[in-house]
Amino acid sequence: MLMEANGASSETWSRQRLDLHVRASSKSLHEVRGSLASLTIPPELLDDARVLLSELVGNSIRHSGLQADEYVHITAEWSEARLRIAVHDRPRSAAPPPVAGSIRPRPGAESGWGLFIVDRLASRWGTDGTGYWFELDGDRAIRP
């Protein structure tokens, strides 16, 4: 796994960034989830971020057509107000993939839940033609 992290303590820097290139292999999922620990994300957001990141990277591995020796590019940016994670698996020139109809799988389905989970947990999500992204608002971590 290739990894680069930028940032400093929350007292001196309010924005942190993670830039990863991982092989398109299910063996990369554990490393990808663990990489978020290098950012100072509140634990309440970190759990959701790991689930959502796993879903998007898993979708890239299974559905993008990449070979095991090709890479998925992941960026994460934490600004203390928002976490934005993008998972890119296509060249810039590719057309955005269609998200047709409902993203909810049929009852009893054992697969196809990835985007449904992203839709339910993320504050915002979408596609930019090179992959998918999601955001989690930092105020979700604040509990009364």
Residue with tokens 């998007």: 56
How far lies 18's CA from each of 8, 23, 63, 140, in Å?
Answer: 12, 16, 24, 21
Q: What percent of the chain is modeled with pLDDT above 70?
A: 71
Answer whether residue 143 shows pLDDT above 90: no
CA-CA distances (angstroms) from residue 77 to 93, 100, 104, 136? 24, 29, 28, 11
pLDDT value for 99? 55
Structural tokens at position 43: 């634990």
What pLDDT was estimated at residue 47?
93
Which band of pLDDT confidence, cut at 50, 70 and 90, is reported for residue 63? confident
Average pLDDT over residues 45-72: 90
Higher pLDDT among residues 80 and 9, named by residue: 80
- Both ends of the chain: CA-CA distance in Å? 39
Q: What is the mean pLDDT of residues 120-135?
A: 90
Does 10 score more than 90 pLDDT?
no
Domains and CATH numbers, the chain: 2-141 (3.30.565.10)
Question: DSSP assignment of 52-103, as one string?
Answer: HHHHHHHHHHHHS---TTSEEEEEEEE-SSEEEEEEE-S-TTSPPPP--S-S
Write the pLDDT tens digit of every residue in 28-40. Answer: 988 898 999 999 9
- Global confidence as pTM: 0.77
Q: CA-based Rg of the chain, rounded to a whole angstrom?
A: 15
- The percent of residues above 90 in pLDDT, for the chain, comes to 40
pLDDT band at 96 (very low <50, low <70, confident <90, very high): low
Distance from C-alpha of 94 to C-alpha of 130, rounded to nearest angstrom: 7
